[in-house]
Structure 1
Amino acid sequence: MDSLTQIVLGAAVGEAVLGKKVGNRAMLWGAIAGTIPDLDVVWRYLTDTITATEMHRGFSHSIIFALIAAPFFGWLVHQIKKRPDVGWTGWSKLFFWGLFTHPLLDAFTTWGTQIFWPFHWRVAFNSIFVVDPLYTLPFLICVIAAATRGRDTLSRKRTNNLGIYLSTAYLLFTVLIKFAVNHKVEASLQEQGITYTKISTRPAPLNTVLWNINVDTQDAYLIGDYSFFDSQPIVYKTFPKKRTQAQKWIERDEVQRLIAISEGWYILEKEEESWVYNDLRFGLISNDENDSQFVFRYLLTENDGTITATEDRPTPKNGKKLLIDLWQRIKGN
């Protein structure tokens, strides 16, 4: 999830663990704990793109990291604060839950997280977009309201807990929504006589009403979307896999690593003189009616027998239009 959401979650967890003893400082340290796992972005500046992508939401988002790092950070804060009533164990408990709930939340997003690192199993429920106001705003309001009340008051505890309960209920509700969407997609494919091997659904930006759909068939991927307000059948756009033309590149180790990252959802194609690796998991972005590109794409170049991938995300030319189009599509077809 986005940084603000993780800060809010960490603050709420910190309050739940130590708020009664240290007041708003528990929220502060909880927010810091909730931010620490995302410091793995530093790998972008220390290694190549493929390796950095593999390490994103890896070790720092695992149970092992939480177990190792929590006692260290707990000891560090204990040395700074010297609170006998809290002690090393109290601060360690706060940091453990702040570090652990971060990857738990990320597991519901499309990118997922390697919570069971070192096992190469990325948990991704694909039920919530990385920025979702319906998750974050009520949670944020409850945390702010709790912070304004006395640390020994029952209303402070209840308000903070309300934020945790509401956000958790919404998160679980998105999983139920996803099941309903998958059922709708499977029915539409059967009605249209489409044979497929697997499907992938994920919410469109900022909501859980409109969902993007990927369908894997023998020679092509089908991409469509579905809103709960739709009155027309789901329409799929076809994207040929083009495996034969790109076979020599597909066999290369660096490309195989990208394929593993994208869980097999990819199209490798030649654009002018360059080869481009498209990660299909995050869908398309449109700059105008005739110009759509995949959100995650990498330019591949070869030097001295080594393939280098450079991230090439398309930049929206008209952000306001994208939001208007998104809202119109949410309202149904």
Structure 2
Amino acid sequence: MDSLTQIVLGAAVGEVVLGKKVGNKAMLYGAIAGTIPDLDTFASYFTDTVTALEIHRGFTHSIFFSVVFAPIFGWLVSRYDKLGNFKNWSWLFFWGFITHPLLDAHTTWGTQLFWPLDLRLAYKNIFVIDPLYTLPFLVCVIWAMRLPKTSARRRKINRLGIILSSSYLVITLILKAYTYQKFTAALGEQEVNYTSVETKPSAFNSVLWTANVDTPNAYLIGHYSIFDTQPIQFASYPKQHELLGDLKEEEKVQQLFKITQGWYTVTQKEDQIFINDLRFGLLGFQPTENRFAFSFELIKTPNGLKVKEVEKNRTQAKELLSELGNRIKGN
């Protein structure tokens, strides 16, 4: 999830663990703990694009990290803050660390909770930024923060925020199951021969959902809003994996295969080759849309193959938001 959401979750967890004893300091250190796992994003300053993507939500998002580093941070804080002891602070950091990847596991990117095992949990039932999850939670945390640390009302309000956010996650899981049934029913009606279907919510909401459908020679992408009245339409995107040629043996390309979990197409523009990650969808909702949210250009250099992520511009973002608002209302 986004940084603000993880800060809010960490603050709420900190309050549960130690708020009655240390007050707002529990929220502060909880917010810090909720932020620390995402420091793996700084890997992009020290390594190449593909390796940084592979590292993201790995080690720092694992049970191993939470267990090993919580006592270290707990000890550091206990050295100068005597309101809580080593055990208290360690416990706060553990729960701040572990709830971060548990929430991230609900997103499309997922997380390697069981690192070093090569297993990424991704339930794909909530977008990385969802105001309906974050804003009520944020209001409750700020409200609780303004009350005395010994106040029973403070604990109830903080607990309410956790209940609201958790309930919303459950609702998104129900919506995922409901929309999955809609997609598979539409594929059956259209007599599509497919091997697998993956669904996920579109940006900033849980009303409009997207399905990626694996067929022998192409991937199909369809959209469904719970307000739709017309049949689901699927657009076809040829896999064209053969365009890679010998490039498929390159280490960086193999890394991209792993990152995309096999959900990718290959496109060519003149002599440029691109690998498009289908997991994060398109920058639009029209049947003719061919701009992928994540696309990587393969560049041959004298020093070997270089992979460059295709940049997105603000104009595309504005267009996407406009289309998104209209498409959520139904077709």
Shorter-chain TM range is over 0.9
Query: Structure 2 stretches of 5 or more lacking a match?
Result: none
- Please name the residue that 2:320 is paired with: 322
Pair 1:185-2:183 in alignment? yes
Tell me if structure 2 keeps the 8 A contact 1:286–1:316.
no
Pair 1:133-2:131 in alignment? yes
Tell me if structure 2 keeps the 8 A contact 1:14–1:98.
yes
- Please name the residue that 1:6 is paired with: 6
- Please name the residue that 2:282 is paired with: 284
Deviation at 1:288, TM superposition (A): 9.7
Tell me if structure 2 keeps the 8 A contact 1:287–1:318.
no
Deviation at 1:141, TM superposition (A): 0.5
Structure 2: distance between partners of 1:236 and 1:25 = 51
Tell me if structure 2 keeps the 8 A contact 1:33–1:95.
yes
Pair 1:264-2:255 in alignment? no
Structure 2: distance between partners of 1:193 and 1:218 = 14
Structure 1: distance between partners of 2:160 and 2:286 = 43
Structure 2: distance between partners of 1:198 and 1:313 = 30
Structure 1: distance between partners of 2:311 and 2:100 = 26
Deviation at 1:172, TM superposition (A): 1.8
- Please name the residue that 1:41 is paired with: 41
Tell me if structure 1 keeps the 8 A contact 2:104–2:111.
yes
Tell me if structure 1 keeps the 8 A contact 2:266–2:274.
yes
> CA-to-partner distance for each residue in 1:65-111, whole Å, 9 max, x for gaps?
0001100000000012123xx21000000000000000000000000
Give the direction of change, closer, same or farther, for the CA distance of 1:188–1:266 in structure 2 (3 Å limit). same
- Where do 1:79-158 residues align within 5 Å? 79-83=79-83, 86-158=84-156
Pair 1:75-2:68 in alignment? no
SS in 2 for 1:127: coil
Structure 1: distance between partners of 2:288 and 2:207 = 26
Tell me if structure 2 keeps the 8 A contact 1:295–1:313.
no
Report the aligned-residue RMSD: 1.6
- The 4+ residue runs of structure 1 with deviation greater than 3 A are 286-292, 318-321
> CA-to-partner distance for each residue in 1:23-70, whole Å, 9 max, x for gaps?
011000000000000000111011111111110000000000000110
Given the two structures, how large is their TM-score scaled by the length of structure 1?
0.96
Percent of counterpart pairs with the same letter? 52
SS in 2 for 1:246: helix
Deviation at 1:212, TM superposition (A): 1.2
Given the two structures, how large is their TM-score scaled by the length of structure 2?
0.96
Farther off after superposition, 68-77 or 238-247: 238-247
Structure 1: distance between partners of 2:314 and 2:247 = 29
State the aligned residue count.
331
Deviation at 1:302, TM superposition (A): 2.1
Q: Give 1:34's aligned amino acid.
A: G
Structure 2: distance between partners of 1:286 and 1:207 = 15
Q: Give 1:90's aligned amino acid.
A: N
Query: Structure 1 stretches of 5 or more lacking a match?
Result: none
Give the direction of change, closer, same or farther, for the CA distance of 1:316–1:237 in structure 2 (3 Å limit). farther
Farther off after superposition, 60-69 or 310-319: 310-319
Tell me if structure 2 keeps the 8 A contact 1:7–1:32.
yes
Tell me if structure 2 keeps the 8 A contact 1:287–1:317.
no
Q: Give 2:274's aligned amino acid.
A: V
Structure 1: distance between partners of 2:48 and 2:180 = 36
Match of 2:214 among 200, 213, 216: 216
> CA-to-partner distance for each residue in 1:264-302, whole Å, 9 max, x for gaps?
000122222211111110011149997641011111112
- Please name the residue that 2:158 is paired with: 160
Structure 2: distance between partners of 1:212 and 1:305 = 39
